[in-house]
């Protein structure tokens, strides 16, 4: 089966690591990447910051696909920039297994009138390296991340999942027409916006600490 794939990786550029989402087309080609803008908490000790040059919303035959990684989903300006680009399939890879995450995913779907697909891994101590000093315990069956993958429609309704405490692949039949119906009364980047009062400027240029001049 051919599919569009959005997958999280640790990307290395020189000596710097980035938390990155890669976008693959059905033919296997890499179409885009998104580097996490703001590493969360102690992630800042490990990962570099992305910039506005990797905030893609990909136009495909199944809809406009974009991604926000984990707690990036809590950044209002990032969300608004994605809504303004007409995102219809919002991918949210995460390790946040809490109930509040489920509420946030429903809010984004309802706020942006978009489908939200959030993938949260299920991980046990047995899946980690043997030399990993696990503060939750070293019993192989100890659950480190309990999952919670979910699919939500543009009305904020859960249509698949959430799945906890086991590995799973979740699917849902969707219609892009639901986005049009949902935006009839709320389009935060369209008829429900107030550009005369609020504005958002996004720098999409690559940022570097070195500028070369001829």
pLDDT of residue 1: 62
Q: Residue 208: what pLDDT? A: 82
What is the predicted pLDDT for the residue at 184? Answer: 96
Q: Are 183 and 115 in contact (CB under 8 A)?
A: no
The domain limits of the chain are 5-182
| Cα distances (angstroms) measured from residue 124 to each of 97, 133, 136, 167 | 13, 13, 10, 11
pLDDT score recorded for residue 133? 86
Measured CA to CA, the distance from residue 37 to residue 35 in angstroms comes to 6
The pLDDT value recorded for residue 44 is 92
Cis peptide before 162 (omega within 30 of 0): yes
3-class secondary-structure state, position 214: coil
Q: What is the mean pLDDT of each run of 10 residues along the chain (214 residues)?
A: 90 95 95 96 93 95 96 97 97 95 98 97 90 86 92 98 94 96 96 94 87 83
Its pTM stands at 0.91
Which CATH fold topology does 5-182 show? Nitrilase/N-carbamoyl-D-aminoacid amidohydrolase (3.60.110)
Which residues lie closer than 8 Å to 87 by C-beta, 6 or more apart? 57, 64, 65, 66, 112, 114
CB atoms under 10 Å from CB of 189, counted, come to 20
Rounded Cα gap, residues 25 and 6, in angstroms: 9
């Amino acid at each position: 089966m051919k599919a569009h794939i959005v997958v999280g990786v640790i990307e290395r550029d020189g000596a710097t690591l980035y938390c990155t989402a890669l976008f693959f087309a059905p033919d296997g080609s890499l179409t885009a990447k998104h580097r996490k803008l703001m590493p969360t908490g102690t992630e800042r000790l490990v990962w570099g910051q992305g910039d506005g040059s990797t905030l893609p919303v990909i136009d495909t035959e199944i809809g406009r696909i974009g991604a926000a990684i984990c707690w990036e989903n809590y950044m209002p300006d990032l969300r608004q920039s994605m809504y303004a680009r007409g995102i219809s399939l919002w991918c949210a890879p995460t390790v946040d297994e809490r109930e509040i995450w489920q509420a946030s995913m429903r809010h984004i779907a309802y706020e942006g009138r978009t489908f939200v697909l959030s993938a949260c891994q299920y991980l046990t101590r047995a899946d980690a390296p043997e030399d990993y000093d696990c503060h939750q315990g070293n019993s192989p069956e100890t659950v480190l991340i309990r999952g919670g993958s979910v699919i939500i429609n543009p009305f904020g309704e859960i249509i698949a999942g959430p799945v906890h405490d086991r590995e799973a692949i979740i699917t849902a039949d969707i219609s892009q027409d639901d986005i049009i119906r949902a935006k009839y009364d709320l389009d935060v980047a369209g008829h429900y916006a107030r550009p005369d009062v609020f504005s958002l400027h996004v720098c999409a240029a690559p940022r570097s600490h070195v500028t070369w001049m001829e």
